[in-house]
Amino acid sequence: MGDYLGAKHWVGFKPEAAPGTAESTVTTFLVSEGLDMNANPKAIERKSSIGTGAALPSRPGWIAPDGSVPCEVLASQPQPWYWLLGHVVSTQPAVGTDPTVYLHTITDDAREASKQNVGKGVSLTAEGNRVFDQCKQAGVRLNSIKLSVAPGEPGRLQLTWFGLTHVDGATLTSTPVFLTDTLICTSVAIKMDGTADVTVDAADLTIDVQNEQLDTLVVGGAGAPQDIRRKDVLQTTGSLSFIDFPVAALAKFRNATPFALVIELDGDTISHTYAKFLRVTLPACQYVGGLTPSIGATVITGDATFQAFYDTTTSKQVMVEAQNTIPAINV
């Protein structure tokens, strides 16, 4: 029996030219801290006993491929946000003086007039080296991304997904290449209604596109799901951990007052005044819980949970901006 060291794993993705048809290799490799990537087989129970008066062995049934991975936030790797939300516009803020600077603005494709993926996000091929074997999934669509920030730590993401196919023991020919510009939480701005005076020691937000994995009756079916679709409206939630008690936040909670929230992680300078960053803007948030401290002999702090809603003024629920030196992230 072998000893398999999980730290040797890797996982990579690539958008599919034909949704559901696996790419031969993948090109974007996450700086991951772990990996779950499984077929999740479900045996079909026999209901009959064929005159034996005893239970018979189950038959091979359906699979429900899925996966999840915790990874670091990289300034030059905003692709997961695009894969989840489905729409991106890439521009050069100062092409004349700073031609290496690119700004990628990512929004929900279900809300955009020029839909690129018709509300489903991007269909991906995923490859995973699980150390004890290698596996491959096609027709992968991200379900959610959770962003977490805390002082002195790398920014972290938690990705989850569904797939349409899964192959255990796959032969992979992709060559992993990992980026190094991790966004460490030494320069993090959290702005509320445009004011950068929100003092917290931790924050997180989760964008969930509410996907479901569908089994259908199909000729020649191989016991795998045939579709992944949105079953409900996009949901964005999060939490803030204040180092004191935010009296103004309590008033917003009590009065159901909407507020805009921006979380920005800053990185190295690219050129002149342009630096790498990842910025998530939620234009219409409301507190939905927390702010119920126990009063005692210690400093009174506050933890609050919030939800982001669709903003009729900006016509957006969430917007992700990433500035780096990558010309395009939709390949």
Residue range 68-82, pLDDT digits in tens: 999 999 999 999 999
| Within a domain: 142 | yes
| Within a domain: 257 | yes
Instruction: Name the least confident of 138-152, 184-198, 255-269.
Output: 184-198
Q: What is the dihedral of CA 127, 130, 135, 140, to 10 degrees?
A: -50
Average pLDDT over residues 40-52: 90
pLDDT > 90: percent of the chain:
84
| Within a domain: 108 | yes
Average pLDDT over residues 182-191: 92
DSSP, collapsed to helix, strand or coil, labels residue 255 as helix
User: How confident is the prediction for the chain on average, in pLDDT?
Assistant: 93
Decide if pLDDT at 114 tops 60: no
| Within a domain: 290 | yes
| Within a domain: 51 | no
Q: What are phi and psi of 69, to 5 degrees?
A: -150, 130
Residue range 133-181, pLDDT digits in tens: 999 999 999 999 999 999 999 999 999 999 999 999 999 999 999 999 9
Decide if pLDDT at 39 tops 90: yes
CB proximity list for 18: less than 8 A, separation 6 or greater: none
Q: What are phi and psi of 136, to 5 degrees?
A: -145, 140
- CA–CA separation, 276 and 127 (whole Å): 28
Decide if pLDDT at 85 tops 70: yes
The tally of domains found in the chain comes to 1
Q: What is the pLDDT of residue 289?
A: 96
| Within a domain: 330 | no
- CA–CA separation, 65 and 302 (whole Å): 40
CB proximity list for 49: less than 8 A, separation 6 or greater: 55, 56
What range does the domain containing 262 cover? 6-40+62-324
- CA–CA separation, 63 and 40 (whole Å): 5
Average pLDDT over residues 249-260: 94
